Amino acid sequence: MRFHQDREQLERILDAAHNAALQFLHSLAERPAGHTPEPLPPDALPEEGLGAQEALACFRRKYEAQLSGSAGPRYLGFVTGGSTPAALAGDWLVSSYDQNVSNDGDSIATTVERETLALLRTLFALSDDFDGVFVSGATQANLVALATARQWAFQRLGHDPSEEGLWNMPRIPVFGCVPHASILKALSILGMGRKAVEYVPCLPRRQAIDPAALAQRLAATGGKPAIVIASAGEVNTGDFDDLETLASLCQTYGAWLHVDGAFGLFAACDPSRSHLLRGLNAADSITTDGHKWLNVPYDSGLIFTRHVALQEQVFKAVAAYLGAGPDLLHRTPENSRRFRALPAWMTLMAYGRSGYQALVAQSCLFAQTLGQSIEQSTHFELLAPVSLNIVCFALRKTDADQRDRFLEALKRDGEVVLTPTLFAGKPAIRAAFVNWSTTERDVQRMIEALERGALQITFHTTNSRED
């Protein structure tokens, strides 16, 4: 059997994988930041199997060239960090150790997860009454947070949805200004519905909730349970809600405050920006993403709450073989859980508070540099002040089709990947700095690529009008 043959060749197989990884990682500085995939013939399931080394070689021949440089320094799409060297080493070991981090009984891995959560509480300056758990990403984290909030809301109405379901129950209003798409997805999954969101006006020229408008909405609930969604780092501009004021309103009107801090929570690392999170400790639930500013591989979301007993009512899993301990599986939708805390533990221990303070400051400085270049350019306009690590801008006098052609031209150029968005109804572009390996030279290369791409679009647009 191929299994047994590969066991005898394990060292060679891992050496081949190691060499492949190093070649890819060393290429990131010059590798195209993005790649539009070309269609390829489908794979056929081999009858006898190729063996691990030939399967790896086959993958590299067929697919590797079309992988993006998303782990590299000039990928500014989707708020994606890379993997620090320590996080990468940790992630390799996760697969080797292959621990199921659900029960406390037979592995120290669950202790490592709890210790990692404590390290993160320190990094984010969260009080000790917050407890947490690792999940697969921000969408799952928001789902867990909102499921816990749903449990709280219906219990206030004398109903236990975790046991009795949602049949014939009233809609719980969810108030937000610009909730992330993952919030809407989570509400759909939870049976609360995307239409549960009642959009509150934003502050003028901001992507932040108008507290006065929210106060009116909360007052109109008549003391019935409601959920408020706040942003710590809004996805298009990096804007922050006034968490302190929102927390006070939620306490006054008896609402649940959920803070979506997918990347903005890391502002806590930098003393010059930590004031943006004033009031955070009064939240009921908080979510963030490890694959963003923590710079660990994908599959790393975090949910913190001050109501872990409610969380465990929703997610408890009862079976004779699972035991009855205070296990982490009772806090997440998953029973089987990979050891995803290890890369986070490795990178936190390797680089410490000062390392992440420097990373946040550097990312924000690079965003400011790009923002200043956008303001000085004749081809672009800056749509919002650069308040953190996000730059939101647009091509002047272009529509969505031209913007998309511009972004595709940038991808073909290979120097930078950006993502499209809408801002105040205008086709816009978003750049997000979070990668530990980005340098000043990378930023200059991006700026030059933007100008080249804009000239190309202008040239084609002018010619098409003349034609």
Q: What is the pLDDT of residues 141-169, one digit of tens each?
A: 999 999 999 999 999 999 999 999 999 99
Are residues 263 and 135 part of one domain?
yes
Neighbours of 292 (CB within 10 A): 26
Final residue in a domain of this structure, among 346, 364, 389 = 346
Q: What is the pLDDT of residue 459?
A: 57
Distance (Å, whole) CA 284 – CA 52: 48
**15: in domain:** no
Are residues 302 and 197 part of one domain?
yes
Q: What is the pLDDT of residue 371?
A: 98
Q: What is the pLDDT of residue 324?
A: 67
Are residues 416 and 273 part of one domain?
no
Residue 187 corresponds to which tokens in the numbers above? Answer: 């509400």
Q: Which domain holds residue 411?
A: 352-466
Are residues 229 and 98 part of one domain?
yes
Low-confidence residues in the chain, pLDDT < 50: 466-467
Count of domains in the chain? 2
The pTM assigned to this predicted structure is: 0.95
Are residues 174 and 130 part of one domain?
yes
Q: What is the pLDDT of residue 173?
A: 97
Backbone angles phi, psi at 353, to 5 degrees: -60, -45
Are residues 284 and 139 part of one domain?
yes
**199: in domain:** yes
Are residues 356 and 339 part of one domain?
no
Q: What is the pLDDT of residue 326?
A: 82
**248: in domain:** yes
Q: What is the pLDDT of residue 461?
A: 55
Are residues 401 and 274 part of one domain?
no
How far apart, in Å, are the Cα atoms of 147 and each of 116, 219, 262?
A: 24, 24, 18
Strands across the sheet with 301-305, in order? 131-135, 301-305, 285-289, 256-260, 227-231, 174-176, 197-199
Q: What is the pLDDT of residue 320?
A: 75
Are residues 364 and 216 part of one domain?
no
Are residues 185 and 206 part of one domain?
yes
Are residues 182 and 108 part of one domain?
yes
Kind of pairing, strands 390-395 and 419-423?
A: unpaired
